[in-house]
């Protein structure tokens, strides 16, 4: 579309130049035609240069996207492999989370949830948890994906492969992730905000048996905000996931 507009503009310019240059009937003077031919030659050369530049830029963008997608799908395949290794752990962890919410009242503090489930965090499960974050961070920080709409395409590919129990466990691991220092706690907050901004939990299914989980999620969201704001107030910094790289690179 852009190239068509540029070409049309240059052609129109040639016609305008012709009408102004001759300012009357068609000239029979060879010098007049020589000047007009020079102008047309310059215009065509300009069109060629523009086309070459736009073709080169288009090829560069295509190459960058192909490179991004190649790495992305390799990571996605690895992620699926990790999921298959820890599928049983996810099922077990899900059942344990639901049972805790069934057997406890709404006012149970988050730290008690974590204490009860800490032994259930297997090595495979935590590996899955970390790898999922790296996959989302790769999309979020990509310079190739210049808009949220482009990023959403790849976020949706990941989410489409995740089951209800899988999403529920990831959300619980995030909300119940208690760190020893404020800086490490902040890393968990950034992880949560990244996945939340990608709308990973938008259509999450809450088991009927654990209806109080929504209240727990609301409580932990408030805790996350308070911890984040407190940390950055004390360190005289700011935190905003939209700032991107400087925040997300905190998490290894």
Which has the closest alpha carbon to 225: 214, 217, 215? 217
* pLDDT tens figures, 11-30: 666 555 555 555 555 555 56
Summarize the chain as % helix, strand, coil (round to 5). 80, 0, 20
- 91-105, 121-135, 204-218: least confidently modelled range: 204-218
Half-sphere exposure of 214 (CA within 13 A, CB side): 8
- Give how far Cα 165 sits from Cα of 6, 25, 225, Å: 53, 81, 26
Percent of the chain with pLDDT over 70: 52
**CB neighbours (10 Å) of residue 219?**
15
Give the residue from 127, 102, 126 showing the smallest Cα distance to 177: 126
**Residue 151: pLDDT above 90?**
yes
Residues 6+ positions from 98 with CB-CB distance below 8 Å: 207, 209, 210
Model pLDDT for residues 164-181, shown as the tens digit of each residue: 888 888 887 777 655 555
């Amino acid at each position: 579309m852009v190239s068509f507009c540029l070409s049309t503009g240059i052609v129109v310019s040639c016609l305008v130049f012709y009408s102004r240059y001759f300012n009357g009937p068609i000239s029979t003077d060879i010098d007049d035609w020589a000047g007009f031919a020079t102008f047309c030659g310059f215009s065509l050369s300009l069109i060629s240069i523009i086309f070459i530049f736009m073709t080169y830029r288009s090829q560069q963008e295509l190459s960058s996207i192909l490179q991004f997608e190649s790495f992305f799908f390799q990571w996605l395949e690895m992620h699926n492999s990790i999921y298959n290794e820890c599928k049983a752990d996810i099922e077990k962890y899900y059942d344990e989370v639901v049972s805790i919410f069934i057997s406890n009242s709404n006012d149970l503090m988050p730290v008690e949830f974590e204490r009860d489930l800490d032994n259930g965090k297997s090595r495979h499960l935590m590996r899955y948890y970390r790898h999922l974050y790296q996959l989302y961070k790769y999309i979020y920080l990509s310079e190739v994906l210049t808009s949220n709409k482009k990023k959403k395409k790849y976020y949706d590919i990941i989410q489409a492969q995740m089951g209800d129990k899988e999403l529920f466990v990831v959300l619980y691991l995030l909300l119940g992730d208690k760190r020893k220092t404020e800086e490490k706690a902040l890393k968990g907050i950034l992880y949560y905000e990244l996945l939340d901004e990608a709308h990973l939990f938008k259509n999450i299914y809450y088991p009927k048996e654990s209806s109080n989980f929504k209240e727990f999620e609301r409580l932990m969201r408030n805790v996350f905000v308070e911890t984040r704001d407190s940390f950055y107030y004390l360190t005289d910094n700011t935190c905003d996931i939209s700032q991107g790289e400087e925040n997300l690179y905190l998490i290894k």
